[in-house]
Structure 1
Amino acid sequence: MSKVRRAAHAGSWYSDNEDDLRNQLGTWLGKVKASHLPARAIIAPHAGYSYCGACSAYAYRQIDPTSVKRIFILGPSHHVRLSGCALSTAERYQTPLYDLPIDTKVYEELYSCASFESMSLDTDQDEHSLEMQLPYIAMVMESRRGEFSVVPVLVGSLSPEKEQYYGNVFSRYLTDPDNLFIISSDFCHWGRRFHYTYFDKSCGEICQSIAALDRMAIETVRRNGNGYKLNMKFLKYAQSSECTSASDSSVSYAAGVLLIQ
């Protein structure tokens, strides 16, 4: 039997009932226009779906399943110290909809670089940044079920030099129109529980100060993502709650899409 990474956050971060999950994702996707097809890469948040599911739909709606054979999922490590990137030891990723096979051929190619570690199955199942993308992938790719694979990559705290190195490794896959990249990322985490409470009072309320910070980050990503034949756009921004006092907290979300002309 193949080694399966179970859907460890199903039933808590999102519904573990197939029909309920399908209806929820379908409702969110149905409210968004497919205005930027076909995405070559998207940025989508990784919080519980009750907080960020509607925002994620803006990114996932830009995927054309007919042009995708392989999906790279890059998510930050929340629970283990990692100075590079790590690959899964599983062969399939479980979702309440159906299982997603891991592309072992691409994994072999990445391991040949001698710069990728292996993460334990426990680390893999603990990590929500990868898992929260899986149900949406299964939903938007259902017409190609059994005809595509995934390439999960856990990303650590990279030095600028390592960022450039891994960027070069993945760039050759990004140029292939058969591949889609999903960058799993939240934006500003504000509040005492996150040990970050910067507040620029000139912006107005705390939530407006947070939004100003996020706009700076979004603009940096957009500017760096635009270039020769590259077009980076952000389609939706949201906050988990509107902070107005020092006792509040929030996480910011943004949905982005990269097109290659």
Structure 2
Amino acid sequence: MKERGRGSCCGLFDGRRCRRGQKEKKSEHEQKHEHDERRRAPRLLRGPNHSGAQLLLLERTMARNASHAGTWYTENARELGDELDRWLRAAGSAKRSNARAVIAPSRVFLLGPSHHHFTRKCALSTTSVYKTPLGDLPIDLEDVAFLEKKPVPLYLESVYQELKATGRFEDMEISVDEAEHSMEMHLPYIAKVFQGCSVKVVPILVGALQPDSEAAYGRLLAKYIDDPSNFFSVSSDFCHWGSRFNYTYYEKKHGPIYKSIEALDQNGMSIIETGDPRAFRDYMQEYDNTICGQHPIGVFLNMLEHCNTRLQIKFLQYEQSSHCKSMRDSSVSYASAVATVAAS
């Protein structure tokens, strides 16, 4: 991850300071600071006339780079597209010969755990767009419109505006945003699946929440599930097993270590499928399974409990990075699930 300069001066450096008629050369620190401030500075766009007055749109222009491209996955757009095509074909899709219409989401909520930044709250990105090798994904931001003859701003409704107005969300600095991989790993899939469509993302970094906070965020976000134009993507791995993860829970009755890990994960997956946030919390307290997305999952389960739409969760696939057979081994478990509208 590239570190961004964070100067201590409070204003923008305008590049017009002179000494004895000569332009003063900017220091490396000033250049970095100016570059960073330009990334975060609002941009005023002049739009079409509206009721005889000129409309000005204030827009944030800072972008989150695909900071893990080239290391965690390929940064080559063609190679990445080919890989995703191959994986999506292998996953298959449910065919509906009698389908006559489709409701497609225009907004994707991302719930991801925080691996590097500690917070007891949830955080919202301070950028305006998430970059991917397959194209940019704009964030559903607050747009502020001003009429030239009327200084009163007109707020164009957005999800980020609504969420920030609750006072329960922190701002996520770009350094934190770009260091975090949990939501970025979902972005290439979203960019690929929604290619050619107008879709915005709502990234929410979920901190180390207490049970009451998980419930509170679940209640707050529940209404968005009832809107069919919204889609949710929850990021989580499952058991991180081994001494390097400081977790070596093992029940010999299941046989080899990897079978014990699978039984542990499957137990948690079965509980998640019930949609009961309290049962999942009890499971985590009993086994302390190293599920990195336990808090995003907890928030999502609380959302299901408080929304009007009845959803059913079903796990589709489970894998382990390797099969542990001795206490010297280590592995990470991966599981995928889908939540669908239950048949009435």
TM-score by length of 2: 0.65
CA contact (8 A) 1:65 1:143 kept: no
Task: Describe the SS at the equivalent of 1:73.
Answer: strand
Larger deviation, residues 220-229 vs 78-87: 220-229
For residues 65 and 129 of structure 1, do their structure 2 counterparts lie closer, same or farther at Cα, with a shift above 3 Å needed?
Answer: farther
1:34 maps to 2:93: yes
CA contact (8 A) 2:137 2:191 kept: yes
Deviation at 1:36, TM superposition (A): 9.2
CA contact (8 A) 2:131 2:137 kept: yes
CA contact (8 A) 2:63 2:128 kept: yes
Work out which of the two has the higher radius of gyration on C-alpha atoms and give 1 or 2: 2
1:210 maps to 2:210: no
Any runs of at least 4 consecutive aligned residues in structure 1 with deviations exceeding 2 A, and if so which?
225-229
- Inter-partner Cα distance in structure 2 for 1:244 and 1:32: 29
Higher RCO (CA < 8 A, seq sep 6+)? 1
Deviations 1:199-245 (A, max 9, x none): 11110111000000100110111011688732111110001111111
Deviation at 1:66, TM superposition (A): 5.4
Q: Which residue identity does 2:164 align to in structure 1? A: Y
CA contact (8 A) 1:36 1:259 kept: no
Task: Describe the SS at the equivalent of 1:107.
Answer: helix
**Could you say which residue in structure 1 is the equivalent of 2:231?**
180
CA contact (8 A) 2:103 2:229 kept: no
Deviations 1:143-169 (A, max 9, x none): 31xx11000000011111001100011
TM-score by length of 1: 0.86
Task: Describe the SS at the equivalent of 1:142.
Answer: coil
**Could you say which residue in structure 2 is the equivalent of 1:241?**
322
1:152 maps to 2:203: yes
**Could you say which residue in structure 2 is the equivalent of 1:4?**
63
Deviations 1:161-213 (A, max 9, x none): 00110001110001111000000010111011100001111101110000001
**Could you say which residue in structure 2 is the equivalent of 1:192?**
243
Q: 1:125 aligns with which of 158, 173, 178?
A: 178
Count of aligned pairs between the two proteins: 233
- Which structure 2 residues correspond to residues 42-191 of structure 1 after superposition, within 5 A? 67-104=104-141, 105-144=158-197, 147-191=198-242
Deviation at 1:260, TM superposition (A): 1.4
1:255 maps to 2:336: yes
Q: Which residue identity does 1:26 align to in structure 2? A: D
Q: Which residue identity does 2:109 align to in structure 1? A: F
CA contact (8 A) 1:71 1:149 kept: yes
For residues 65 and 142 of structure 1, do their structure 2 counterparts lie closer, same or farther at Cα, with a shift above 3 Å needed?
Answer: farther
Q: 1:201 aligns with which of 236, 252, 255?
A: 252
1:18 maps to 2:77: yes
Q: Which residue identity does 1:69 align to in structure 2? A: S
Deviation at 1:3, TM superposition (A): 0.5
Q: More helix per residue: 1 or 2?
A: 1
Deviations 1:93-138 (A, max 9, x none): 0000000000012111000110000010000000000111101110
Deviation at 1:33, TM superposition (A): 2.2
- Inter-partner Cα distance in structure 2 for 1:190 and 1:239: 10
Deviation at 1:34, TM superposition (A): 1.7
Deviation at 1:16, TM superposition (A): 0.2
Q: 2:272 aligns with which of 221, 230, 233?
A: 221
Identical columns (%): 46
Q: Which residue identity does 1:193 align to in structure 2? A: R
Deviation at 1:88, TM superposition (A): 0.3
- Inter-partner Cα distance in structure 1 for 2:194 and 2:330: 34
Task: Describe the SS at the equivalent of 1:21.
Answer: helix
Task: Describe the SS at the equivalent of 1:67.
Answer: coil
Q: Any stretches of 5+ residues in structure 1 without a counterpart?
A: 38-63
- Inter-partner Cα distance in structure 2 for 1:243 and 1:36: 38
